[in-house]
């Protein structure tokens, strides 16, 4: 991680707020200036007092001036907190939002590898550290460096020998600090990663308490917690000790500076070059130096923590979706024609899930897909949604390869309902509209009417404002699927894919849905993946997959009457109650 990268990140996020940054900077500048004034007052005070001329009045005036400056400094401190914090939150919230938006768009392969708990750590945890970096780091580093600069100027003005000594000294200190600044970074990275691991673990177990309890795995989970707790202790302790190296180097060098100033001051006082007040001024500046240098050191520690976070943040922002958007061709309106052209696909390089699948589905037709678990049915659906890109061949919607259309175009036109419905904590309305204010309550109710869900809806205690618990808690999996159907009605797509969408419904409810499904498929192209034949009574075509290959494809009517066909055999077995 180089300074350029910091600058780039700071620039990207701070530039839009340069007015506020400038204001903040000015306030800090004033504050630092005032802090430099007080030792000068003290020098005047001492020199006047020890000169023996007894001007008590001017001493009292100096004391009052000192008090005035102190009050003003405090006021500026509060202002700096306000300006700095506001800026930090504005900036870090932008960053959180950007990270959130970016991650939301990443492909499912990414999300399959990152738990929601880990995303919390990445989007919130890391940026929290950065927020401190934004609100404190720039401000403090700048103000402390300005103080340093001011003191050096004053010292040189007072006595060029002392000034030059301390300019050289400061140069050495800066160089050393630059050398060791990043010493602890890898340790902080490990520390934060361990923490992400611990909280990812906890998040998963907390959302799977039933699994843990009912399988008698409590002791096992507790042991894993102990292991992660211990790991976190070891990583954190190492990181702190590593940071201590940086810190102690700073302090050590600084103490040499103090000793140097005392020695030089004594010698120059002895030969009459400096007054006692001036020696005190040097002593006071050096004592004042302690605080800024400790703060700089502290800030550098934070920077080490932050640079681990910055690295992970820019890593996350740099993670490209595996789905490259090319030209963004638009797909013609109306029901979609679906073409799979010699498609092969696997989730990893080694194993293929689909082999040379070629298939055409005419606009407005409905295709029923059958096959055993693992035969590639769901994978085919995911390719049509463009959750993944094919390894070979192509997927085309109305003649446009999905890789040439923009993702938003594809997702606007194609909607899929899966067996696992993802619901989140929030109102029913939010779960249906995903916060789209353009979808009115009337439209939702209309969808419910079409789905014959009005009765169910009216039984809800607070209507559309009824809150679902986390992960859709409080509602059954079957109800979740009904809500997923309502989502489709609201989305109004051109191609509807139902991936075993009704498997959690009882036959009575499913029967009810058959009517609405056919309503849904009106003027749309449809693909219904099922392992129950009853679901496929109204489809036009039938496709049977086995181990990722097409073993049968044709019109339902034809196949149903051809005793040689696999479908015919399935139908016969179906009559006996054994369906696939």
Partner 1 sequence: MKTTQMLMQFIRFRPGLYAVDAVLVLSGWLLFLVPAYVGNHYFDSLSRGSSVSTEVWWLVALLVMSIVARILLMFANFYVDETFRHSIGSLLRKNLLSHILKLPAGRALLGSSGEAISRFREDIDESAEYLTWHGLLDVVGAAVFAVVSLVLMLLINVKITLVVFLPLILVAATAHMAGKRIDKYRRISRQSVGQVTEYIGEMFGSVQAIQVAHAEERVTKRFRELNDQRGRATVRENVFNSLLSSVFANVVDLGTGAILLLTARSITDGSFTVGEFAAFTYYLTWIAQLTRRFGMLTARYKQLHVSRQRLTTLLQGAADTELVRHGDVYLKGEFPEVPYVEKRDEHRFESLDVTDLTYVFPETKRGVENVNLQLKRGSLTVVTGRVGSGKSTLLRTVLGLLPQQSGEVRWNGEAVDDPGNFFVPPRAAYISQVPRLFSDSLKDNILMGLPEERVELERSVWTAVLDHDLQQLQNGMETMVGPRGVMLSGGQRQRSAAARMFVREPELYVMDDLSSALDVATEQTLWERLIEQRGEVTCLVATHRPSLLARADHIIILQEGRVVAEGTLEELLQTSEEMRRLWDGD
Positions in 131-190 near partner 1 (CB under 8 A): none
Sites for partner 1 among residues 220-259 (CB under 8 A): 220-223, 225-227, 229-230, 232-233, 236-237, 240-241, 244, 247-248, 251-252, 255-256, 258-259
Q: Is the dihedral of CA 311, 313, 317, 321 positive or negative?
A: positive
Smallest separation, CB 308 to partner 1 (Å): 17
* Closer residue to partner 1, CB minimum distance, 247 or 303: 247
| Interface of this chain with partner 1, residues 24 to 83, rule: CB under 8 A | 42, 45-46, 49-50, 52, 54, 56, 59-60, 62-64, 66-67, 70-71, 73-75, 77-78, 81-82
Distance of closest approach, residue 467 Cβ to partner 1, in angstroms: 8
Question: Closer to partner 1 at the Cβ: 1 or 231?
Answer: 231
3-state secondary structure at position 320: coil
Distance CA 216, CA 204 (A): 17
DSSP for 429-494 reads HHHHHTT-TTS-HHHHHHHHHHTT-HHHHHTSTTGGGPEE-GGGTTS-HHHHHHHHHHHHHHH--S
d(CA 293, CA 175): 14
Q: Residue from 20, 36, 37, 111 that binds partner 1 (CB under 8 A)? A: 111
Select the span of 12-20, 144-152, 200-208, 312-320 touching partner 1 (CB under 8 A).
200-208
Q: Which of the residues 81 through 110 are near partner 1 (CB under 8 A)?
A: 81-82, 85-86, 89-90, 92-93, 96-97, 100-101, 103-105, 108
Q: What is the dihedral of CA 102, 103, 108, 111, to 10 degrees?
A: 170
Q: Does 454 bind partner 1 (CB under 8 A)?
A: no
**Residues near 535 by beta carbon (within 8 Å), at least 6 away in sequence:** 368, 502, 510, 514, 528
Residue 348: left (phi > 0), alpha (psi -120 to 50), or beta? beta
**Alpha carbon distances (Å) from 183 to 2, 134, 303, 307, 567:** 13, 21, 11, 11, 68
Our CB check for partner 1 shows the closer of 60 and 558 to be: 60
Rounded to whole angstroms, the Cα distance separating 331 from 215 reads 50
Least Cα distance to 296 among 257, 254, 262, 255 occurs for 254
Region binding partner 1 by CB under 8 A among candidate stretches 8-16, 305-313, 333-341, 497-505: 497-505
β-sheet with 392-397: strand ranges across: 354-361, 338-345, 392-397, 400-401
Give the residue, chosen from 436, 492, 555, 557, that forms a contact with partner 1 under the rule CB under 8 A: 436
Question: Which of the residues 314 through 333 are near partner 1 (CB under 8 A)?
Answer: none
Nearer to partner 1, 189 or 378 (CB): 378
**From 193, 203, 404, 546, residue interacting with partner 1 (rule: CB under 8 A):** 203
Smaller CB distance to partner 1: residue 4 or 214?
Answer: 214
Burial (CB count within 10 angstroms: exposed 0-12, middle 13-18, buried 19+), residue 513: buried
Helix (H, G, I), strand (E, B) or coil at 522: coil
Spell out the alpha helix ranges (H) of 501-544. Answer: 507-521
Does 11 interact with partner 1 (rule: CB under 8 A)?
no
Whichever of 146 and 228 has its CB closer to partner 1, that residue is 228
In whole angstroms, give the CA distance from residue 224 to residue 193.
16
441 binds partner 1 per the rule CB under 8 A:
no
Closest approach, Cβ 22 to partner 1, in A, equals: 19
CA–CA distance, 498 with 368 (Å, rounded to integer): 10
Which residue, 167 or 490, has its beta carbon nearer to partner 1?
Answer: 490
Q: How far is the CB of 560 from partner 1 (least distance, A)?
A: 19
CA-to-CA separations, 195 to 205, 221, 517, 539, in angstroms, rounded:
15, 17, 47, 51
Compare residues 12 and 86 and give the one whose CB is closer to partner 1: 86
Considering beta carbons, is residue 1 or 106 the nearer one to partner 1?
106
Candidates 168, 326, 358, 424: give the one binding partner 1 (CB under 8 A): 424
Q: How many residues bind partner 1 (CB under 8 A)?
A: 169
């Amino acid at each position: 991680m180089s300074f350029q990268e910091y600058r780039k990140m700071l620039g990207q996020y701070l530039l839009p707020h340069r007015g506020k940054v400038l204001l903040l900077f000015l306030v800090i500048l004033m504050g630092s200036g005032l802090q430099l004034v007080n030792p000068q007052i003290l020098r005047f005070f001492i020199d006047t007092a020890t000169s023996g001329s007894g001007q008590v009045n001017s001493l009292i005036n100096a004391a009052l001036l000192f008090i005035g400056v102190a009050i003003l400094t405090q006021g500026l401190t509060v202002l700096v907190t306000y300006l700095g914090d506001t800026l930090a939150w504005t900036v870090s919230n932008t960053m959180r939002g950007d990270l959130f938006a970016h991650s939301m768009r990443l492909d499912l392969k990414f999300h399959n590898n990152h738990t929601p708990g880990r995303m919390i750590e990445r989007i919130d945890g890391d940026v929290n550290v950065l927020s401190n970096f934004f609100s404190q780091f720039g401000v403090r580093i700048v103000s402390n460096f300005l103080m340093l600069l001011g003191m050096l100027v004053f010292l040189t003005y007072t006595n060029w020998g002392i000034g030059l000594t301390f300019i050289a000294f400061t140069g050495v200190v800066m160089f050393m600090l630059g050398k060791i600044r990043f010493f602890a970074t890898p340790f902080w990275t490990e520390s934060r990663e361990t923490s992400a691991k611990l909280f990812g673990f906890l998040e998963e177990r907390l959302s799977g308490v039933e699994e843990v309890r009912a399988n008698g795995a409590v002791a096992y989970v507790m042991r894993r917690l102990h292991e992660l707790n211990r790991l976190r202790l070891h990583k954190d302790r190492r990181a702190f000790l590593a940071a201590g190296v940086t810190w102690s180097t700073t302090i050590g060098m600084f103490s040499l500076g103090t000793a140097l100033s005392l020695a030089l001051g004594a010698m120059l006082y002895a030969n009459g070059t400096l007054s006692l007040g001036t020696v005190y001024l040097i002593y006071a500046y050096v004592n004042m130096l302690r605080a800024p240098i400790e703060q700089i050191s502290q800030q550098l520690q934070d920077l080490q923590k932050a640079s681990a976070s910055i690295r992970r943040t820019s890593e996350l922002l740099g993670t490209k979706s595996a789905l490259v958007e090319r030209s963004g061709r638009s797909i013609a309106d109306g029901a979609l024609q679906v073409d799979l052209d010699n498609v092969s696909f696997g989730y990893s390089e080694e194993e293929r899930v689909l082999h040379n699948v070629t298939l055409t589905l005419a606009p407005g037709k409905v295709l029923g897909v059958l096959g055993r678990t693992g035969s590639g049915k769901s994978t085919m659906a995911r390719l049509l949604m463009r959750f993944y890109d094919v390894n070979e061949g192509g997927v085309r919607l109305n003649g446009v390869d999905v890789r040439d259309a923009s993702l938003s175009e594809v997702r606007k036109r194609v909607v899929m309902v899966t067996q696992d419905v993802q619901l989140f904590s929030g109102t029913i309305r939010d779960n249906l509209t995903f916060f789209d204010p353009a979808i009115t309550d009337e439209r939702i109710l209309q969808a419910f009417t079409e789905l014959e869900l009005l009765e169910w809806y009216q039984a809800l205690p607070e209507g559309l404002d009824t809150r679902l618990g986390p992960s859709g808690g409080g509602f059954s999996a079957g109800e979740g699927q009904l809500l997923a159907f309502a989502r489709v009605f609201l989305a109004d797509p051109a191609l509807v894919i139902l991936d075993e969408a009704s498997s959690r419904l009882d036959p009575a409810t499913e029967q009810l849905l058959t009517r609405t499904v056919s309503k849904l498929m009106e003027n749309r192209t449809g693909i219904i993946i099922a392992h129950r034949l009853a679901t496929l009574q109204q489809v036009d075509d039938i496709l049977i997959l086995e181990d990722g290959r097409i073993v049968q494809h044709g019109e339902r009517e034809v196949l149903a009457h051809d005793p040689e066909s696999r479908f015919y055999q399935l139908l016969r077995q179906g009559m006996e109650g054994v369906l696939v």
